[in-house]
């Protein structure tokens, strides 16, 4: 069947062309990974949010392979400070793993389809488990900067969805369910890891907005009323493509700032990066216990 004219989707690539680009990216990454046999068939992908580059140190020292996003066809370069923009492949105590250090966001001018192209390219290598991380503002008044939150669910208020356009049948169905998108078994494992490592772990609902401006006080009040515990500008679109492809998903938010209506001053990017570093240590500790048990 001919693809419909996509007048409502002027923002770039979709359907067969999107599929072709994902396949080309998969092939380019796969060719590099298979040059290092233990890395050839990754089972785990970890996406890093702002300031979370330290997670790369959880990879075993050898072998490691670094692939700048610019070297992967059709992958937009990440341009925001705090986002390195490279794929790092390695093993976590023997589990072949791909770390996406830096992500592109829709506020950089990309549709969700383009912003998730790289993740889909990696999923197509056979990855089973997707670990997502982000920096977020705390809507729950009890949250403090430096807290780590296990995502129990999300609300996508970004105004976009990566599955718009013709369905890519090789990944999944047209109308994927998102109930229980955040894997309960993985979450139980993360809570156990938190207890073992004595890292305090919040649990809550993440709201994705488009950004890039931070929220007004009225928006913070609204987001809390809607049931959000944390707010950020990423992740939900990645959960959607991962669940579309029926992969197991877990997500962690690093609370970098308060996002409550009575906050003294709003967030700024420097604070987000700085508190990201602080809280990242906790998250790295927790993941250091959690990830090897995924074997």
- Active-site positions read 50, 83, 105, 107-108, 135, 233-234, 257, 269
* Integer Cα distance of 141 and 224 in angstroms: 9
As given in the structure block, the two tokens for residue 85 are: 């923009």
DSSP state of 162: T
Residues 46 and 130: their CA atoms lie apart, in Å, by 6
Nearest approach, Cβ of residue 258 and ligand HPA (Å): 8
Nearest distance from C-beta of residue 118 to ligand HPA, angstroms: 20
Quote the least distance from Cβ 226 to ligand HPA, whole Å: 14
In the complex with ligand HPA, the residue whose CB is nearer, 186 or 267, is: 267
Selection from 256, 285, 235 nearest residue 133 by Cα: 235
Residue 233 C-beta: closest distance to ligand HPA, Å? 5
Q: Give the DSSP letter of residue 139.
A: -
Asked if residue 253 lies in contact with residue 283, where contact means CB atoms within 8 angstroms, the answer is no
Cβ nearer to ligand HPA, comparing 90 with 137: 137
Cβ proximity to ligand HPA, 53 vs 137, nearer residue: 137
Task: Give DSSP secondary structure letters for 84-105.
Answer: --EEEEEEETTEEEEEEES---
CB 249 within 8 A of CB 190: no
159 burial type by CB count under 10 A (0-12 exposed, 13-18 middle, 19+ buried): exposed
Sign of CA dihedral 80, 152, 244, 65: positive
In eight-state DSSP terms, residue 257 is: E
DSSP state at residue 4: P
138 or 162: CB nearest ligand HPA: 138
State the residue number with the nearest CB to ligand HPA. 137
Q: How far apart are CA 185 and CA 250, in angstroms?
A: 10
Give the binding site for ligand HPA (CB under 6 A): 135-137, 214-215, 231-233, 256-257, 259, 267, 272
Place of tokens 């990754």: 42
Q: Closer to ligand HPA at the Cβ: 91 or 256?
A: 256
Which residue lies nearer to ligand HPA by CB, 13 or 100? 100
To 10 degrees, what angle do helices 269-290 and 184-197 make? 90
Query: Rounded to the nearest whole angstrom, what is the least distance from the CB of residue 224 to ligand HPA in the complex?
Result: 12
Distance, C-alpha 230 to centroid of its chain = 15
Question: In the bound complex, what is the minimum distance in angstroms from residue 120's beta carbon to ligand HPA?
Answer: 24
């Amino acid at each position: 069947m001919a693809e419909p004219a996509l007048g409502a989707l002027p923002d770039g690539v979709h359907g067969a062309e999107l599929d072709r680009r994902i396949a080309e990216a998969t092939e380019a990454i796969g060719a590099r990974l298979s040059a290092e046999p233990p890395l050839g068939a990754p089972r785990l992908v970890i996406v890093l949010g702002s300031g979370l580059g330290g997670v790369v140190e959880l990879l075993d020292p050898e072998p490691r392979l670094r692939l700048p996003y610019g070297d992967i066809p059709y992958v937009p370069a990440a341009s925001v400070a705090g986002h390195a923009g490279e794929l790092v492949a390695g093993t976590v105590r023997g589990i072949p793993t791909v770390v996406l250090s830096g992500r592109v966001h829709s506020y950089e001018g990309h549709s969700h389809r383009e912003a998730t192209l790289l993740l889909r390219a990696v999923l197509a290598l056979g990855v089973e488990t997707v670990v997502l991380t982000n920096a977020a503002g705390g809507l729950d008044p009890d949250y403090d900067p430096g807290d780590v939150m296990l995502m129990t669910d999300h609300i996508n208020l970004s105004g976009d969805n990566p599955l718009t356009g013709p369905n890519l049948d090789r990944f999944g169905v047209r109308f994927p369910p998102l109930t229980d998108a955040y894997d309960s078994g993985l979450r139980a494992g993360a809570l156990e890891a938190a207890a073992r490592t004595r890292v305090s772990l919040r649990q809550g609902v993440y709201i994705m907005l488009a950004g890039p401006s931070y929220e007004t006080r009225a928006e913070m009040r609204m987001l809390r009323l809607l049931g959000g515990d944390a707010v950020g500008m990423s992740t939900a679109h990645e959960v959607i493509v991962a669940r579309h492809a029926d992969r197991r998903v877990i997500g962690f938010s690093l609370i970098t700032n308060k996002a409550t209506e009575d906050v003294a001053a709003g967030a700024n990017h420097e604070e987000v990066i700085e508190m990201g570093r602080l809280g990242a240590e906790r998250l790295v500790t927790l993941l250091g216990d959690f990830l090897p048990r995924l074997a």
